[in-house]
Amino acid sequence: MHLLEVVPSRCNGCGICEVACSQYCAGEANPEKSYIRVFRQEDKALAFPLVVAECNIPQDLCPCKGNGKHCPKIATTLLSCPVTQEGSLVMLCGVDCKEAVCVKFCPMEAIKIVEEISPGEKEIGLEIMANSLAMMTKK
């Protein structure tokens, strides 16, 4: 388990974190099975993703509301909302991954390990999540 910090503005959307995670942690090259997801910021001209994160915040708590349809079903706990793209995001990865391969492979240093935590310390992560969520919602 890793507590990860993601800096959305650094993400260039290459998706290497997804495929790395899926190959190391899900046994095949398949972003659909990755525990980290690249959210794509799409507008008229381009569709480069700007945010690396994934989210299983309950719909009623989600500050991005209408964008909930883009949030994939995941096994990881997101600690703040990717859609606002402000500041950095903290998230707790629920996968037992020794290397944090998303961090290792990201060429942009958009993902960092905040600290290593054991499953028993998950509560700490959840508390951070609650605080982050409260902050984001207040904004």
Partner 1 sequence: MSRGWSGQILRVDLSRMESSKEDVAPYARAFIGGKSINVKIMYDETDPKTSPFDPANKLCFGPGVLTGTLTPGAARMKVTSMSPNGLLANSGIGGFIGPEIRYAGYDNIVIQGKSDRAVYLYIHDDCVEFKDASHIWGKDIYETQQIIRDEVGSPAKVMCIGPGGEKLVSFASILTETGNAAGRGGFGAIMGSKNLKAIAVRGTRGIKIAQLEEFNKACWEAHKLIRESPGCESMVAEGDRGVLDHFYNSGMFVLGNWEEDADWSKWGRFGGNDEFFDQYTAFVGGCFGCPTYHMNIFDIPGIGIGKEKCVGWLSFSGPAWNNDRKVMVHANYLCNKYGIDVVSTGNVISFLMELRHKGIITDQDTDGVPMRRGDKEAIISTIHKIGKQEGFGKLFKDGVLEAARTIGKGAEDCAMHVKGLEMQPYEVRSYKSQALTTAVAIRDTIEGHSDIDYSWIANPDEMEKWAEELYGSREAAFPTSYEKKAIMDWDMENRNTAVDMLGVCKWHIPWDITPYLQIPAKLFFLATGVDTSEDELLTVAQKTRTLERAFNVIKGIRRKDDTLPKRLFETAAPGGLFKGQRLEKAKFDEMLDEYYELRGWDEHGVPKKKTFDKFSLASEWKVFKKNLK
Q: Residue 109 corresponds to which tokens in the numbers above?
A: 């240093």
CA 6 – CA 86 distance, rounded (Å): 11
132 HSE (CA, 13 A, CB side): 23
Question: What is the smallest separation between the CB atom of 21 and partner 1, expressed in angstroms?
Answer: 10
Are 74 and 36 contacting, i.e. CB atoms less than 8 angstroms apart?
no
Closer of 13 and 82 to partner 1 (Cβ) = 13
Closer of 71 and 136 to partner 1 (Cβ) = 71
Question: What is the smallest separation between the CB atom of 138 and partner 1, expressed in angstroms?
Answer: 29
Burial of 48 (0-12, 13-18, 19+ CB in 10 A): middle
Closer of 73 and 138 to partner 1 (Cβ) = 73
Q: How far is CA 32 from the centre of its chain?
A: 14
Question: What is the smallest separation between the CB atom of 139 and partner 1, expressed in angstroms?
Answer: 24
Question: What is the smallest separation between the CB atom of 16 and partner 1, expressed in angstroms?
Answer: 5
Closer of 24 and 35 to partner 1 (Cβ) = 24
Q: How many residues does the chain have?
A: 139
Residues at the contact surface with partner 1, assessed by CB under 8 A = 12-16, 19-20, 22-24, 26-33, 40, 42-48, 50, 69-70, 104-105, 107-108
